Structures are given as C-alpha cells and as structure tokens.
Amino acid sequence: MRTFSLLFTFIALVMLTMFLVYLVRGSVDPIIAIGLFISFLFCAIPALLLLKPFENREALQRRREARQEKQERERSNG
C-alpha cells in the first residue's frame, strides 16, 4: 500500500509542477490550467488517503503482542 501512495504522491507532485510551470510561463488557457489542477487533485487525494501517519513504537508493539496472544489462544483452543 505504501508503494502505491508514494507513486500517487510522485505523480501529484509532477502534475503540480506542470501546473505551476504552465501558469508562470505566460498566456494561460483556462481549460488546460483547470485540467492540470484537477489531475493534481485526483492524484493527491488518494495519496493522502493511503498515507497514514506512522504509529509510535508503543502502539506498534501493543498490536504485535495482541496478535501473538490471539494466535496463541487459537492454537490452544484448536
């Protein structure tokens, strides 16, 4: 999942760069500018949804311990 979010982030940055260069360059066709900006949004939104903030070490350790305990209970019951 992280690879896809980073790929979307990279594409979104490229689209934003293209949009900014197009605006700075000179005469601007509004349809093309809007299209570039919408392309940026369509790439940035999935990237932001897929990128989750890193959990701290304690939360990650608690999840691992809970998973191990659950697996041990399933082994003892099964």
Residue 55: what pLDDT?
66
From the number of C-beta atoms within 10 Å of its C-beta (0-12, 13-18, 19+), residue 68 rates as exposed
pLDDT confidence of 2, banded at 50, 70, 90? confident
- Two tokens, residue 30: 């509004």
Highest mean pLDDT among 3-7, 58-62, 66-70: 66-70
Residue 78: what pLDDT?
65
Domain that holds residue 18: 2-77
Give the predicted TM-score (pTM) of the model: 0.62
> How many domains are contained in the chain?
1
**Top-confidence residue, 56 or 58:** 58
